[in-house]
Structures are given as C-alpha cells and as structure tokens.
C-alpha cells in the first residue's frame, strides 16, 4: 500500500467543481433524484471510472456501486449521495461521493491492491425532494423500506414514484434485492458537510459524528372557534393561534433542558387565515430530535402535555398525529475514535457531535454495520440552498482527514478476527 | 299616518326566506357583489316594488335607491346591503334591506304619505368579498372612495374591478356622482345582525349601536434566519416564529386594558414553512379596533414597541406596513337614544354596544348625516358562514323595534328646524 503523502485531496475538490459546472444553474444544484440532471451527474460519475480496475453496477434500488477488489474480501464501504434538493448546494452529498471517488481512484492506481475490498456507493434519492421519501436507496439496502407506502407516493405533477423508478430502470417490487450488496460489509464511512453552525461557532474545521439523532415528527392541530375579529370580545374568544403560540414558545423550554436536543415548529398555518377573523384552526408541525431515546420520549411527552394544557386554557381542542419517527442511531465507538484520531492528526483539534440531519449512514448503522461519519464545517451553517459553502482549505483538510480515516479503518478491519 | 299596530314584521322574515331560496346553495348565501347571483337578488328586490308608488333607480356607484315621497322633502334613509360573502349567511345585510323594504312598503300602502320622504338603499358591495374593497357603494356616496386604488384591484381570476363594474353598468370614473343621492338626507338608520356574541351572552335580543370602532390594520413581517431544524442548536437560532408567537400573545394583554378594545392576529404564515426548517420569516396580520381614537393609537404603539422588543430578543428584524385604517365613527347621540327607546318599548331591556365590524352606516355617519344602527342577537355570534342564524322570535322583535325607530326618527326629523 502506498503512503498517504502521495494522496492529493485537490482531486476531490476538482471533481466537485466539474460536477457543479455540469448540474447547477443560477439557482443552485438541480440534481433531484430520478430527474434528467441527476442521470447526467451519474453518467459523468461513471465516466470517471474509465480505465480503472474497478467493477461498476447499479443495484435493484438504483444505488450505484463501484468495487475495487482488495487483498481481503472484507469490505469497507464509503458512501454518500449525488442527488440534491432543488436549488441546492454543491457539497451536500456530492462531497462524500467525490471524496470517495478520489480515494478509491488513488488506491486503484497503486501497484498493490488495498488490504480490504473498497466499495463506493452513490445512494439513490437521499433527499426525498421529489416524492417526500428520503433515504430511499439506503433503506432498501438496509431492509427498512416499505413498498406499499412508497407505491402511493406522487410528485407535484401527480407522477408516481413507481413510474419514475421504472423510467430509471428500477422495479419497485424488486428494491429489497439491494440487500445483496451487504455481503462482507465490515464498516461504512461517510464524509458530509455539517449543515449546521456548531463547528463554525467553535472555530473548528472537522468533527467526528457520534450518531444521528432520533426524530419525532408530528402534526398538531388546535381547533378553536373562528369568529369576527371586530365583534368578538377578547374574553369570549377560543383562539387557536394563541394555543399554538404558547406551544411554539414552550417547546424551546422543553429542548434546552438537554444539551443536544432540538425542538422546532417549522410550519404553522392559520385558518381561515384572514385579517378579519379570530383563528379557528391552527395547524403546526413539530420536529424533535435527540441522540438519547429516553430524552426524545420525554420531550415528546412534555410537548404533548403542554399542548393539552394550552388548548384547555384557550378553550380549544388539540389533536396529534405522527408524521414520521426514527430512533436515535449511535455510531460505532471505535470508528468514532478513529475518526477523531484522523481529525486530530490533520488539524490538531477534534470535536464530537451528533448529527441532527438524517443521513444514509443511519440506515447502514441500524443494520449493525460499524459506521461513522466525518463532518466538515458549513459556512453560516447553511445548506439546502445555493449559498451553501465550505472554505476550500476546509474541504482539502476534510478529504485528507477522511483519507486517513479510510486507511485507519482498513487497518482495523484487517485486525478483526474473521 | 297609520298606527304601528298594523305593521306586520312577519313580512320581512318572509322576504328573507324567499331571498334565501333564490340565492343560497348548500354552502350558504352566494350573493357576492357584481356576480350573477347578486344581480338575481337585486332583480328580485326590484320586482317587489311593482305596484308601489315609489321611484327606483341605480346610482352612479351601483347603489339601488327606492324613494317614497313624503309630506316633507326631508329624507330619512334606511339601508343595508344585499351582497354577501361567498358561502355566507342569510341575514347579514339582507335583514336591513328587507326590513327596510317591509317598512317602506307598509308606508307606501297607507292612504297618507309619510311625514318625511323615506328612502331605502341597497349599497353595492359592502363586503368587498371579491375585490377586497369593502363599503364600495357607500364610500362613493360619502366621497371617501379612491378610484386610482380601486382601478388596480383584481379578483382571483385576474378580472379587474373596473371591468366587473362595467359589466354591471358602472363606469369607475363616474362613481363619485353617487354623492347626488345625499340631497336632503336628514338621518340614516340600519338594522343588522350583531355578528358577535355580546347580546347572546347578555341574554338580550336587541342593542343600540353607539358607533363603529376605528380600525388599525397592519402587516407585520419578522425576518430571522431559515436553518436546518436538526443541525441548528436552540441557542443559535433566529426563529421568526418565536418572535411572532410572543406578539400573538402580547396583543391580548394590550387589548384587555380597555373594555371594548379588540386585537387580533388573524393570519400567520411561516416560511419556508416546512417541518425540517427553523422559520426564517413569519408574516402576520394585526387588526386592532376601539371606539376611542386615543386608545386605538395607544394600542398600535404598544404592539409596535412589543414587536420590536420581541424581534430583538430573537435576533430578528421586524417591519410594519399599514394595510388599512379607519377612524372610530361615533353615531348620533339622539338617534342612539331613540334606538334605545324603541328597543325598550319592544322588548323591555336595551343595551348600548359599539360595532366592531364596519358597516355602510359608518360611511354615512362620517359624512355628518345623523346615523345609528340597531343590532339583533346572532346565535353563537357567528356570521360570514352558512350556519349564521338568529331566532325567528328575535327577527320579528328586531323588525318591529326598527319600525318603531323609523317612526320616532321621522318625528324627530320633522321637529328639527329647517
């Protein structure tokens, strides 16, 4: 195996720039999964493999796999996603795939094979931007998909997920066959932008990710009584907005009791929603996240109790319905340590942080495959926006540290008993 | 002049039922101004005049006038509006017009003319439901219209108010000519449903209206920072919804310091308004009303100061823009007294209350024409809805008391020096 000094992280940054040129317009990246621009990105990616001693194929769920056979059949998977949200950033997902491509290409060009088999995966539809189903490809790999629910999904133009999949060569009934790709997987690593402000605030370039937070996501409807804003005395109102406003403030008190917890009301809709009527119905969404399942359960219970108290105070009723939830997924302790080591060796200081956003890595980790992620600082903590950015110096440090983590992880895999 | 004992209030209720039959569907009344159903209602109304010794014409702003010449040229105007909101109630507006029609018809059938000239007006587009311009016809009468602002108004289908007016025989540049109808006007009376819960709560059928509250109506935009709900720690957020929620609660404290004041946030919109993002922008509407101009000014100032304080606390900015305002319009003290007398004589007890909703009567009163209104109890305080209703016994009492008020007001007009 070659020494890491010869690895050039600039290769990955150059690939990112090429991809941006190919798939972004003035509004940002347009690599929405199952669209033409996404297919263009993937063709370009496949073209980068020409002349390398690697095997390429697309699995039953549309994930693209590149395999470089190593001295051992044991597999280290590197992965992320080329798809983006509409008007997205140039790094979200693409960084992990193209850092992986730079690393895999580097190993492929060495005289000797790597100690373990190295695989790179571009997961299909991480974002779920078009059909509202995120982690599509990785959940098929992990066996957590639900074909019945997915079959009924449609986009804004009433095109079904099923037909969009077929247009992309994927049969919805077959996606579970992606499980075959798990064979011999011994570890999974993913490099990603943080998409939050923590590293920037701490003045750090890189962080080791301890896991992905569990999420409780609910729709909450307060029902009061629509009434004329001019003729209804303050004391005779059943104002659904007042109940919702109290909850919007209370969820912050609920969250700040726990160091890493977050609670967010991201959408609040008022009905009839006109200037001359007391709000009769307020519809809110609540998103709660923590790495500790007990904390998550406690926060959910507290928010629910508070909403019932506020509804009673305002003469309203309240109903909750779960939109979606996922348990916290802690990453592998030893891989987190290796990640910290790589970061410290590259930039001097490291920091552990949980991921609030979900990632394909969570699906892989839930399956029991040792997993961790590395985060690189996001400027302003902004993502899902064309202004998403990371300093080039930080990108180069990230790719270099991630390369180091790959080396360390290969060593760890080799050291494990069969 | 005939005695009031011969007047039958049941006539008005019968007319209301006929109109409902003609212009409501299963969703409620559909007499939106400048539409086919509204024209149908007005044709039906005109048909009811056949055989009566009255003059009928439509003025330059589309208001329909029925005139019964009296012994004196001095004019008492009775009025309200046949137009409704979409899916509206059967009584809002129609009660006043059809009670007026029953009373005018009664006087028209007497052997002797009434002591003063009696006019009934059906104001055009009180509700402003289609073009967002309420009190259209009465503001033309009162000279408070603004043709330039009105010319740019369009409905949901991008049809301009100007072309809708033309379709209804009204030239927008001529609407000010409706001022000619003011000639000899000595008083204006309007019977209306309360559209609020006050009379019901007090167990009263009828109330004398002291004036219409002034209104300050503003759009308030809090600008924070959109951020990922999973990756943005609670302490690093600039949550525009939090600032707006504080204001939604604070306006209640501002209002309850004054007995008749109301403050309402009727619409709150969140952007981007998705479950996974901290709210970056919150757009609220605020409607504040009181009969005292000083109270109104104080409430506006307090809400504005509070919004700036909350914005600062949440790291947001806030901008206010006035949507619309109108000063408080107190009604005529002696007519309010006559109204109370009529109510007491009819039902034993009376109550004075300001009107929170605006009415055409406010436009007339601003002009200096002595004005008052009578309110009849609304069940549940509900209006602008197909379930809007009033007990039939209360409707009959209302029409009877209003007839009495007409008699008293004619007597008062006659008693006034020329």
Distance of alpha carbon B311 from its chain centroid, rounded? 34
Report the distance separating Cα A134 and Cα A384, nearest Å.
14
Q: Do B189 and B373 contact (CB within 8 A), yes or no?
A: yes
What pLDDT does residue A1 have? 41
Q: Which is it for the CA torsion A242, A247, A252, A257, positive or negative?
A: positive
Q: Quick one: pLDDT at residue A47?
A: 98
User: Would you list the DSSP string of B317-337?
Assistant: EEEEEEEEEE--EE--HHHHH
- Please give the model's pTM, rounded to 2 decimal places: 0.86
Mutation to test the A interface, candidates B220, B231, B306, most A Cβ within 10 Å: B231
pLDDT of residue B1: 40
Q: Do A201 and B236 touch (CB under 8 A)?
A: yes
Residues B355, A287: C-beta atoms closer than 8 Å:
no
The token duo for B4 is 């009031």
CB-hemisphere CA count at 13 Å for B417?
A: 0
Q: What is the pLDDT of residue A399?
A: 98
- The complex's ipTM works out to 0.87
For residue B363 the two structure tokens come to 């436009």
Closest residue in chain B to residue A357, using alpha carbons only: B230
A249–B266 C-beta distance less than 8 A:
no
- Strand, coil or helix: B255: helix
Question: Can you tell me whether residue A23 is helix, strand or coil?
Answer: helix
Check the CA dihedral A39-A45-A47-A52 and report its sign: negative
- Give the right CATH number for B4-212+328-415 from 1.10.443.10, 3.40.50.2300, 3.40.630.10, 3.40.50.720: 3.40.630.10
Of A226, A241, A249, the CB nearest to B268: A241
Residues of A in contact with B270 (CB under 8 A): 266-269
Q: How many Cβ atoms from other residues are within 10 Å of residue A283's Cβ?
A: 17
Whether residue B382 and residue A227 make contact (CB cut-off 8 A), yes or no, is yes
- Chain B residues lying within 8 Å of A245, measured CB to CB: 244-246, 248-249
Of B213, B265, B276, the CB nearest to A266: B276
**Contacting residues of B for A276, CB less than 8 Å apart:** 264, 266, 287
Q: Where are the domains of chain A?
A: 4-212+328-415, 214-326
Angle, in degrees to the nearest 10, between helices A392-415 and A94-108: 60
Cβ contact B291:B328 at 8 Å: yes
Cβ distance A231 to B198 less than 8 Å, yes or no, reads: yes
Least Cα separation, residue B317 to chain A (angstroms): 18
Q: Which residue of B has its CA nearest to A215?
A: B230
A-interface mutation test, from B88, B200, B207, B234, most A Cβ less than 10 A away: B234
Residue A2's pLDDT is 42
* Those residues with Cβ within 8 angstroms of residue B368's Cβ, 6 or more apart along the chain or in another chain: none
Contacts of A379 in chain B (CB under 8 A): none
**Record: contact A213-B230, CB cut-off 8 A:** yes
d(Cα B103, Cα B81) in Å, to the nearest integer?
16
Identify the three-state secondary structure at position A20. Answer: helix
Residue labelled with tokens 């007001």 = B409
Q: Which residues of A196-217 are buried (b: 16+ CB within 10 A; e: fewer)?
A: bbbbbeeebbbbbbbbbbbbbb
Q: Which two tokens stand for residue B241?
A: 């919804």
Q: Quick one: pLDDT at residue B384?
A: 85
Other CB atoms within a 10 A radius of the CB of residue B333 amount to: 11
Q: List phi, psi (to 5°) of A115.
A: -65, -30
Phi, psi of B165 (to 5 degrees): -60, -45
**How far away is chain B from the Cα of A252, in angstroms, using its nearest Cα?**
7
Is residue A390 within 8 A of residue A91, CB to CB? The reply is yes
* pLDDT lower than 50: segments of chain A: 1-4
Report yes or no: A87 and A33 within 8 Å, Cβ to Cβ.
no
- Rounded to the nearest 10°, the torsion over CA B96, B101, B103, B106 is -170
Distance CA B348, CA A242 (A): 39
| Contact state of B217 with A267 under an 8 Å Cβ cutoff | no
Low-confidence ranges of chain B (pLDDT < 70): 1-5
CB spacing of A262 vs B215 below 8 angstroms: no
8-state DSSP, A112: S
Cβ-contact A239, B245 below 8 angstroms:
no
Give the containing element (helix H, strand E) for B271.
strand B262-271
* Residue B378 near residue B194, CB atoms below 8 Å: yes
- Chain B neighbors of A381, CB-CB under 8 A: 227-228, 231-232, 236
Considering the domain delimited by B214-326, tell me its CATH architecture.
Answer: 2-Layer Sandwich (3.30)
Beta bridge mates, A77: A119, A188
Give me the pLDDT at residue A173, please. Answer: 96
* Tens digit of each residue's pLDDT (9 = 90 or more) over B86-115: 999 999 999 999 999 999 999 999 999 999
Query: What is residue A377's DSSP assignment?
Result: P
């Amino acid at each position: 195996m070659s020494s890491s000094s010869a690895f050039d992280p600039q290769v990955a940054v150059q690939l990112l720039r090429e991809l941006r040129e190919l798939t972004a317009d003035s509004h940002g990246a347009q690599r929405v999964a199952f669209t033409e621009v996404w297919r263009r990105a993937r063709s370009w990616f496949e073209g980068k493999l020409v002349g390398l001693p690697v095997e390429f194929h697309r699995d039953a769920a549309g994930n693209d796999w590149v395999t470089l056979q190593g001295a051992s059949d044991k597999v280290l998977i590197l992965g992320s996603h080329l798809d983006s949200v509409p008007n997205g950033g140039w790094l979200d997902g693409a960084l992990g795939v193209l850092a992986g491509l730079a690393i895999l290409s580097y190993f492929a060009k060495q005289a000797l094979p790597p100690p373990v088999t190295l695989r790179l995966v571009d997961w299909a539809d991480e974002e779920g931007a078009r059909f509202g189903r995120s982690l599509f490809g990785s959940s098929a790999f992990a066996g957590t998909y639900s074909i019945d629910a997915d079959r009924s999904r449609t986009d804004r133009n009433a095109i079904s997920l099923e037909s969009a999949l077929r247009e992309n060569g994927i049969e919805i009934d077959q996606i579970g066959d992606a499980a075959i790709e798990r064979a011999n997987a011994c570890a999974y690593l993913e490099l990603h932008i943080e998409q939050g402000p923590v590293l920037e605030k701490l003045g750090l370039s890189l962080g080791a990710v301890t896991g992905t937070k569990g999420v409780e996501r609910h729709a909450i409807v307060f029902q009061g009584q629509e009434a004329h804003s001019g003729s209804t005395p303050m004391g005779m109102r059943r104002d659904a907005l007042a109940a919702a406003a109290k909850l919007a403030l209370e969820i912050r008190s609920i969250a700040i009791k726990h160091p890493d917890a977050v609670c967010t009301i991201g959408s609040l809709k008022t009905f009839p929603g006109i200037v001359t009527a007391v709000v009769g119905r307020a519809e809110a969404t609540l998103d709660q996240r923590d790495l500790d399942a007990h904390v998550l359960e406690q926060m959910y219970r507290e928010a629910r109790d508070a909403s019932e108290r506020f509804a009673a105070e305002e003469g309203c009723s309240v109903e909750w319905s779960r939109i979606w939830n996922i348990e916290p997924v802690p990453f592998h302790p030893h891989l987190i340590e290796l990640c910290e080591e790589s970061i410290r060796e590259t930039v001097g200081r490291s920091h552990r942080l949980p991921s609030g956003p979900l990632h394909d890595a969570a699906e892989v980790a839930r399956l029991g495959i040792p997993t961790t992620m590395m985060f690189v600082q996001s400027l302003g903590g902004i993502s899902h926006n064309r202004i998403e950015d990371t300093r080039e110096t930080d990108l180069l440090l990230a790719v270099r540290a991630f390369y180091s983590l790959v080396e360390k992880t290969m060593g760890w895999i080799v050291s494990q008993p069969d």
